[in-house]
Structure 1
């Protein structure tokens, strides 16, 4: 074959070390990576701004209750998405959610100079959380509808790298433009990635539709259709999780991560608020947060490209899932020994670097050997209800320790205990994943017309 390195040559081996994308898969893999890139770019333009504005309006001491409020607000959002996923065509759902949040960003831009800051900046904090919750959950569900356990381990590395690049670009825009144009103008920047998201959703829908039409004539397979209509879609997701030890294991991993992350996030935010106090330093605080996120994003991208797929394929998904809890265990230990801004930055930086760098793509791969209903209903329950309730639990832990007026080291001690439970959940869930993947336990509706896993579909088969 011409036009590339031989199959066994060093160039091909180096490429496969980063991502084992096979002939015919590149277009869809890059399109999904681009979709994720745009969602995360928007989020990281907004995240430094929303954190800075909240700290300026209310201070770090109010962050725990803000987490609790977010968990409450997300409940109706999750129920709405689950209900819509059973009734609205996939393309319409993805476009509608992206468009609704895009309009919302513009509304906050209009209100900012007209309303007292506390009445805009505090709701905006919650709005950004709802944005990322809805769009990321829908993205991964859409992706998981078209991959199998085998292709997930090969492709999620490069697709996740799209998110890492988005984090880098969004953080850079926030970090370097906030002092120049002002934080409010960052909201207008989100219009570009939102418009590009519309284009990619339409392209992906058309490409996947053509792939199904080009397949062997047969009744449309269930893996290519929307989940069955149900008025109790959200409760269906809960029931699926409760009945499945495997899904319960995923929920345990998600819960442990979110609790650990909330504790690390609070420590970092509190020290940043002390370093850049008040609303007068708002743009400087936004710039610092954006540049810190940029640094962790670059480190995370390097891990994503050079290590994630290799660890998943060579050491297994369990090893990839164990990296982050081990790192946070070390970070919490360092903070317990030497509390301060530097230790808090290292602790939270490990979270920010490794979550997108290796943990999220590894966690999402756990959903590959599940049915379409589980991918949308159970996954939606975990990603929306489970994640937010876990964040609320983490906030309650922080709030309780602050109310008891205990030294900051107690928060680190709590994080260490959670990390140990997290490692236990990783071990048991990874074993179940291996059994499902090896034993063909993926539900029959996830298989293509020939009976073999549908994989990442492409035109012609």
Structure 2
């Protein structure tokens, strides 16, 4: 029996003009959109502060911090595995979100007491790098649990647009509130939005009763099961390799951006404005593609096309930076890479998880989204420092190493798409 959707018919009709949603899915879809909106609004309020801390600390400190972030992730994965294995799935996401919201309150106290403390700044950079991956990974674990593969192909673009709208609202909200509040007070706003996201997540569960009948059961298995399955299951190994290579190359671009911005833009306020403007551009372009293009690409051209689009963009970016690493080139490459990642590649990866078992949706996805993702950061940071000698893409060795990784990334994307087609055929 289908759950009655309380959304007015006129609103359903207008929504169906832009997304292929069934009437009984509308309320859950809007709650999913709202959850991701509040979640990324919470993160993007504090993201410009994190990026400015990275520039202030310098390139040498950055690659060391990425290494610290990686080891923090490695330490947290068994803890998350314990929680997922022992506690009902319904309680895992709220518990993690409340934990991170309380962290924001602690940082608010610390920054109020010692605003110029470098240790506090470095700790916040590490924390921010851990926070965004864990909360977003848990969001997508919930989505893959509650939406089927066919539903995901139709609806993930619109749900992703909720996050992009949040990424757009966050910087705008920051610019408005910073005139009224001291910068540390923005952390309390972020904490409030995180609570709002958690509440929307509980609403999504209540609106999808057919998909969460066993929600009070733990995910099951051992605390390291996610890591084991990544290394023993071909499709998860390919996803992990895709994410690893994506982040190695993407962090090359990020570190090049930090180097060029430090040389080109004097002053903390001007740099924060640059980062906010870049995020705004990414958010607007991504939102438009997610609403009007993502579902069409996934359904008409398939996951392989969406996956290959990202290494293709990185290839062009690597070539551009190897010829001219000017500020506008770096900014254009970062914007293009992020738009394609957020609007096409990331939704395609998330669709893959809808075919996984419940414990895989939480543990495997969390391991890849945190340890593998930040492992790419750490690897890229050390490679960049070793190869560039401080010159970034102006040093020919950096582009020479980046190019083969991009080509390997192409091959992995193609194999991942082909493997998904076989997996989908086997279970249909």
Q: TM-score, normalised by structure 1?
A: 0.84
Paired position in structure 1 for 2:265: 276
Equivalence for 1:186: 186
Corresponding residue for residue 456 of structure 1: none
Tell me the secondary structure at the aligned position of residue 363 of structure 2.
helix
Report the alpha carbon displacement of residue 180 of structure 1 after superposing the two structures with TM: 6.6
**Secondary structure of residue in 1 paired with 2:402:** helix
Contact 1:174 1:290 in 2 (8 A): no
CA-CA distance at 1:177 after TM superposition: 4.5
The Cα shift of 1:295 comes to 1.1
Which residue number in structure 1 is paired with residue 363 of structure 2? 377
Which structure 2 residues correspond to residues 374-413 of structure 1 after superposition, within 5 A?
374-403=360-389, 407-413=394-400
Match status 1:307 vs 2:293: yes
Distance between the aligned counterparts of 1:429 and 1:315, measured in 2? Answer: 15
Preserved contact between residue 353 and residue 361 of structure 2 (Cα < 8 Å): yes
Does the 8 Å contact 2:161/2:287 carry over to 1? yes
Q: Quick check: 1:335 aligned with 2:346?
A: no
CA distance in 2 between partners of 1:149 and 1:205 (Å):
17
**Contact conserved, 2:104 with 2:187, CA < 8 A, in 1?**
yes
Higher mean alpha-carbon deviation, 366-375 vs 252-261, is at 366-375
Contact kept, 8 Å, 2:87 with 2:217, in 1: the verdict is no
Pair 1:131–1:41, CA change in 2 (3 A): same
**What value does the CA root-mean-square deviation take over the aligned residues?**
2.5
Query: If each structure's helix is expressed as a fraction of its own residues, which one has the higher value?
Result: 2
Task: Give the secondary structure class of the aligned counterpart of 1:233.
Answer: coil
Structure 2 residues without counterparts, runs of 5 or longer: 1-7
- In the alignment, the residues of structure 1 paired with residue 411 and residue 216 of structure 2 have an alpha-carbon distance, to the nearest angstrom, of 35
- Per-residue deviation at 1:63? 1.3
Aligned to 1:48: 48
1:72-114 CA distance string (max 9 Å, x none):
1111222211110111222322111111111211221221142
Deviation per CA, 1:264-305, whole angstroms, max 9, x where unpaired? 00111112222334xxx3333222211210111101111111
Gaps of 5+ in 1: 6-10, 214-219, 442-461
Q: Aligned residue for 2:425?
A: 438
- Judge conservation of contact 1:52–1:285 (CA < 8 Å) in 2: yes
Partner residue, 1:448 = none
CA contact (8 A) 1:176 1:287 kept: no
The separation in 2 between residues aligned to 1:163 and 1:212, in whole angstroms, is 23
Aligned equivalents of 2:390, 2:310: Cα separation in 1: 29
1:295 to 272, 278, 281: 281
Aligned residue pairs total 419
Rounded to whole Å, the distance in 2 between the matches of 1:113 and 1:238 is 39
Matches within 5 A, 1:10-409: 15=16, 18-56=18-56, 58-115=57-114, 116-175=116-175, 177-178=177-178, 181-208=181-208, 210-211=209-210, 225-228=217-220, 230=221, 232-234=222-224, 236-277=225-266, 281-403=267-389, 407-409=394-396
Answer whether contact 1:91 1:201 (CA < 8 A) is retained: no
- Supply the distance in 2 between the matched residues of 1:112 and 1:410 (Cα, whole angstroms): 40
1:324-354 deviation line (CA, Å, top 9, x unaligned): 1111111111111112111111111112222
1:197-219, CA deviations, whole angstroms, 9 ceiling, x for partnerless residues?
232133233334x5469xxxxxx
Does the Cα contact within 8 Å between 2:388 and 2:397 map onto a contact in 1? no
**Alpha-carbon offset, residue 409 of structure 1:** 4.1
